[in-house]
Amino acid sequence: MSAEKTSVTVVIPVYNEKDNISELLERTLKACRALGRAGRSWELILVDDGSRDGSSEILAEAARNNPGEIKALLLNRNYGQHNAILCGFGAAQGDILITLDADLQNPPEEIGNLVAKIDEGFDVVGSIRQDRQDALFRKVFSGIINMMVRKSTGVKLRDYGCMLRAYRRRVVDAMLSCRERHTFIPVLANLFAKRVTEIPVGHAERARGTSKYSVLNLINLQFDLLTCMTTAPLRILSWIGAGISALSIGFGALLLILRLVYGTEWAENGVFTLFAVVFFFIGAQFIALGLMGEYIGRIHADVRERPRYIVDRVVGETLGECQSAKVAMAHVARES
Ligand code: UDP
Ligand code: MG
C-alpha cells in the first residue's frame, strides 16, 4: 500500500435490517476491496443502532469473519441514525469518511466515485438521487426542506436527504467536537467545509424491510434539521409578533371608527369577528411558544450533556489496529 494514498472508512448505521445485511456486505466489501486494489487502505464500520431483529449478531459475525476489514460497534439501544453515524465516525481511522444506508437504497458501488471526488480537493461530497424511489409525499417534503436549507445556509446543494456522502477527516473531527445532541449530519458538515459538491448517484427502492422513519419521526427529524441549522425562526417569530401587534392596533382603530359610524348595535354583532381575531392571536402565540420550546428543549438536552450513545460491544479490528496491537504486545513481552 503506498503511503501517499488517503485511507477510507465506510460507516453504515444499521437498525433492524437483518434481511439486507448479507447483500449489503457483499456489495460494500466488493467496492472497498476495489479501493484496496487501487492501493488504498480502508475499513468498514458497521454500527448496530440497538436492533431487535438479530442484526447485531449478524454484524458481529461478519466482523469476526473479516478481520482487518470490518469492525462492528453494537450500541446498547436505539439512539437514532445520526447518533449511530457519529459513533462510527468516533471509531473511524480513515482520512476519508463515507456514509451510506443499510437498506441498499444507496448503491455501495458509488463509493469509489465519492472517494475520487474528495481526491479532487472537496471537503464534502454529497449525492443527488437520480430517479428517487420513495413515496411522493417524501419527495415533495424533501424538496421543500432542501429549499429551506439552501436559503438558510447559503450552500447550494440539491439533495440534503441522501446519506450517501463523503467527508474529509477534518470536517468529521469538527463535527465530533460539537456538543449538540440533536443534529443532522449533512447540514452540520456544511459549517466546517470549504469546498462542497454533489455527484449524481443511483437510487433503489428499499431492498427489504420497511422504512425506520414514521411520519412522526420524520417531523421530529425536520425539527433537528431546522434547529441545527439556524435560529432564524425565532427571529422571524418576533417579526411576525410585531406585525400582528401592528395589525391589531389598526384593527382596533377600525372597529372603533365603525362603532362610531354604525352605532353600538353593529358593535355587538361584531362579537364573532372579535372571537376570530382572538383565536388568531392565540394560535400565533402557541406556534411561537412551541418553536421556542423546540430550541429550549435542545438547550436543555445539551446542557445535561448526556452521552449520545453507549457502545455495548466492539467486535473486530481494522486498518493498523491488529498490527499496532501486535507490536505493542511484542514490546510488552520484551520488557517483561
Ligand atoms: N437507522 C438507524 N437508526 C434509526 C433509524 C434508521 O441506524 O433509528 C438506519 C437504517 O438502518 C438505515 C438508515 O438509517 O440504514 C436509513 O433508514 P431508513 O432506510 O429506514 O430511512 P429512509 O430511507 O426511509 O429515510
Ligand atoms: Mg431507506
The grid coordinates listed for 184 are 443532522
CA distance 249 to 94: 61
Phi/psi at 197 (nearest 5 deg)?
Answer: -145, 175
* Strand ranges across the sheet with 42-48: 196-201, 124-129, 165-168, 96-99, 8-14, 42-48, 70-75, 311-315
Q: Ligand 1 pocket test: pick from 103, 164, 184, 215 the residue with the most ligand atoms within 8 Å of its Cβ.
A: 103
CA of 108 to the centre of ligand 2 (A): 13
User: What's the pLDDT tens digit per position in 114-138?
Assistant: 999 999 999 999 999 999 999 999 9
Question: Which is the CATH superfamily of the domain at 8-228+308-335?
Answer: Spore Coat Polysaccharide Biosynthesis Protein SpsA; Chain A (3.90.550.10)
Find the mean pLDDT for residues 179-200.
92
* Confidence check: pLDDT of 334 > 50: no
User: What's the pLDDT tens digit per position in 28-76?
Assistant: 999 999 999 999 999 999 999 999 999 999 999 999 999 999 999 999 9
Please tell me the predicted confidence (pLDDT) of residue 4.
65
**Which residues contact residue 197 at a Cβ distance below 8 angstroms, ignoring those fewer than 6 apart?**
117, 122, 124, 125, 126
**Distances, alpha carbon 109 to alpha carbons 5, 25, 97, 125, 197, in Å:** 20, 12, 15, 15, 19
Please tell me the predicted confidence (pLDDT) of residue 284.
84
Burial of 243 (0-12, 13-18, 19+ CB in 10 A): exposed
* Confidence check: pLDDT of 321 > 80: no
Establish whether residue 197 lines the binding site of ligand 1, counting it when its CB lies within 6 angstroms of any ligand atom: no
Q: Ligand 1 pocket test: pick from 15, 44, 217 the residue with the most ligand atoms within 8 Å of its Cβ.
A: 15
- pTM, rounded to two decimals: 0.85
Q: What stretches of 154-263 show up as alpha helix (H) in DSSP? A: 169-176, 185-190, 215-229, 232-262
